[in-house]
């Protein structure tokens, strides 16, 4: 019987020691249960996701603005080039028309002189 009592007391001592050992490393703060700890982790993850999404949206907006600026610059450059080409073509056409008019006037003058000479010769 004594042996049995010693075993029960030893088992109770081991059980109490194990509980004390496990409990010594854990400090429980009032109002901070597992659900609140998990909730804080979820909140932190949500905040990080929100920040990442905001960063991605800003980067996307910056890229879109840069693309729009590049397209605008290209359109301005194309418009300027077309305007310059049209101006140069107009000037060339104007010069060609003036040259043709001068040549036609010279030809008409020469024809008139030839007619005058032919009329005098016919008299």
Residue 25 DSSP class: S
Is position 1 within any domain?
A: no
Is position 116 within any domain?
A: yes
Q: Is the dihedral of CA 38, 41, 45, 51 positive or negative?
A: positive
Is position 7 within any domain?
A: no
Amino acid 31: pLDDT: 59
Q: List the end-to-end C-alpha distance of the chain, in Å, as a whole number.
A: 173
Is position 21 within any domain?
A: no
pLDDT digits (tens, 9 = 90+) for 64-86: 888 888 888 888 889 888 888 88
Stretches in the chain below the pLDDT threshold 70? 1-2, 17-35, 123
This prediction has a pTM of: 0.40
Three-state SS at 123: coil
Domain span including residue 59: 33-122
């Amino acid at each position: 019987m004594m042996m049995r009592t010693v075993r029960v007391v030893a088992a109770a001592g081991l059980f109490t020691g194990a509980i004390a050992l496990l409990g010594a490393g854990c400090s429980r703060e009032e109002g901070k249960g597992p659900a609140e700890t998990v909730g804080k982790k979820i909140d932190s993850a949500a905040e990080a996701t929100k920040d990442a999404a905001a960063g991605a949206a800003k980067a996307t907006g910056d890229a879109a603005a840069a693309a729009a600026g590049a397209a605008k610059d290209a359109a301005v450059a194309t418009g300027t080039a077309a305007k310059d080409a049209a101006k140069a073509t107009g000037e060339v056409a104007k010069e060609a028309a003036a040259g043709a008019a001068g040549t036609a006037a010279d030809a008409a003058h020469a024809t008139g002189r030839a007619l005058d000479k032919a009329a005098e010769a016919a008299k």
